[in-house]
Amino acid sequence: MQAEYVLKIQVIKSKKQPPRFYVNIPLPLAAALDLQGQEHVQWQLLGRSDLRLLRLEAPAAKPRRKKST
């Protein structure tokens, strides 16, 4: 599984409103983390070039099935 993804931050500019910034999570990464829509997350600033995304209520890990040989 790939561990790094390069993406662009999107900005939406509307009249008389401050700009809004969006970060999209690539589908393979979301699937690996078992992310669900409407989850609550929190950004944690570690430094000017480091952010951490924290899942506030991460679901319990699903047991993996063993491959039959």
Tens-place pLDDT, residues 9-68: 999 999 999 999 999 998 988 888 888 889 999 999 999 999 998 999 877 776 767 777
Residue with tokens 């480091």: 50
What is the reported pTM? 0.63
Q: Which residues pair with 11 in a beta bridge?
A: 21
Torsion of CA 31, 4, 19, 48, to 10 degrees: 130
How far is residue 56 CA from its own chain's centroid? 12
Q: Which residues of 43-62 are buried (b: 16+ CB within 10 A; e: fewer)?
A: eeeeeeeeeeeeeeeeeeee
